[in-house]
C-alpha cells in the first residue's frame, strides 16, 4: 500500500469496512472526536476566516488518541490556505450513488467499491477505473489539497443518494498519522438532507455505542453549516 495510508488504517481481515466501529468511549473522547469532525467540516467549507480558538485543555487523564487526532487536524486547518472552488463535474445526472456510498449511512461501513476507490486516490486515474461506468460519468476531476499532515481529496459529483442530491465527496487522509475523514456534501436544501439522513445518523450512533467489539473509535455526524448539510465519518486512529 502507498505509504501515505498508514498500516494502522487497514482493518484486520475479520473487520474490513463491513464491521461497525466501536463507539464505546468516554465523554472526554467524544468531546474531542466532535472537535475533529467540526474542524474537518470547516476545512471542507474552505473558509478564509480566522480559525476558532482551540478549547481549553482537559485534565491529563482525559488525553487520549482522539485528542491527538483533533489537535493534528486543528493545526493543519490553521495553516491551510483557502482552497479553490471545486471543479465542476459533468452535466447533472440521475445517477444513484448508492453503489458507491451504501454502508456509509450505516455505522460508516465502506462497501468494496468505496474501499477500492479511496485506496486508489493517490492515482486519480486509477481511482476512476475502480468505479462503474455510470458513476464515472457523474464524477468530475479529483482535486488534491496537500497539507503538512494530510491530503484532502475533493471529488465533485452529480447524483442522488436516498433521493437526496449530492454535490461533493471528500476524503481527508493523513500522512502516517492516522487521520481518515470522509465527508459527503449534499446539494439540496439542508432541511431535505436532514429529514432523510438525521434518523440514519442517529441510529448509527446508537449502534456504535452499543457495540462492544469494535476498536476503531469512529464517529459519525450530520453537520449543517451555512445552509449546507454534510454527513461525516471520522475513522481516524
Q: What is the pLDDT of residue 20?
A: 38
Cβ count near 40 (within 10 Å) = 28
| Residue 200 pLDDT exceeds 90 | yes
Q: When comparing pLDDT for 178 and 10, which is higher?
A: 178
pLDDT of residue 215: 64
pLDDT in tens, 7-36: 444 444 443 333 333 333 333 334 334 444
25 or 2: which leads in pLDDT: 2
**Stronger pLDDT, 50 or 183, i.e. the higher one:** 183
| Per-residue pLDDT, 165 | 95
8 Å CB contact between 164 and 196: yes
- With a cut of 50, say whether residue 168 has pLDDT above it: yes
Cell of 170: 471528500
Residue 134, CA distances (Å) to 12, 31, 130, 158 in order = 31, 40, 12, 11
**pLDDT tens digits, one per residue of 101-157:** 999 999 999 999 999 999 999 999 999 999 999 999 999 999 999 999 999 999 999
Q: What is the pLDDT of residues 42-88, one digit of tens each?
A: 444 444 344 445 445 444 444 454 455 445 554 444 444 444 444 44
Q: Is the dihedral of CA 88, 94, 95, 96 positive or negative?
A: positive
Is the separation of the CB atoms in 186 and 101 below 8 Å?
no
Phi then psi for 102, rounded to 5 degrees? -60, 130
Q: Which three cell numbers stand for residue 161?
A: 443518494
Does the pTM exceed 0.95? Answer: no
Cα separation, 209 vs 45, in Å, equals 29
Amino acid at each position: 500500500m502507498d505509504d501515505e495510508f498508514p498500516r494502522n488504517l487497514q482493518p484486520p481481515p475479520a473487520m474490513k469496512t463491513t464491521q461497525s466501529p466501536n463507539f464505546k468511549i468516554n465523554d472526554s473522547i467524544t468531546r474531542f472526536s466532535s472537535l475533529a469532525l467540526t474542524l474537518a467540516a470547516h476545512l471542507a467549507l474552505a473558509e478564509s476566516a480566522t480559525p476558532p480558538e482551540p478549547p481549553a485543555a482537559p485534565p491529563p487523564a482525559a488525553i487520549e488518541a482522539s485528542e491527538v487526532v483533533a489537535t493534528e487536524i486543528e493545526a493543519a486547518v490553521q495553516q491551510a490556505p483557502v482552497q479553490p472552488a471545486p471543479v465542476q463535474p459533468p452535466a447533472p445526472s440521475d445517477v444513484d450513488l448508492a453503489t458507491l456510498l451504501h454502508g456509509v449511512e450505516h455505522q460508516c461501513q465502506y462497501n468494496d467499491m468505496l474501499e477500492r476507490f479511496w485506496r486508489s486516490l493517490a492515482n486519480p486515474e486509477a481511482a476512476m477505473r475502480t468505479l462503474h461506468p455510470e458513476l464515472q460519468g457523474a464524477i468530475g476531476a479529483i482535486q488534491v489539497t496537500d497539507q503538512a499532515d494530510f491530503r484532502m481529496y475533493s471529488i465533485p459529483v452529480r447524483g442522488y443518494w436516498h433521493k437526496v442530491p449530492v454535490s461533493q465527496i471528500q476524503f481527508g487522509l493523513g500522512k502516517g498519522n492516522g487521520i481518515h475523514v470522509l465527508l459527503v456534501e449534499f446539494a439540496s436544501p439542508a432541511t431535505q438532507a436532514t429529514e432523510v439522513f438525521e434518523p440514519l445518523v442517529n441510529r448509527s450512533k446508537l449502534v456504535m455505542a452499543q457495540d462492544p467489539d469494535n476498536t476503531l473509535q469512529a464517529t459519525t455526524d450530520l453537520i449543517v453549516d451555512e445552509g449546507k448539510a454534510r454527513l461525516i465519518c471520522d475513522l481516524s486512529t
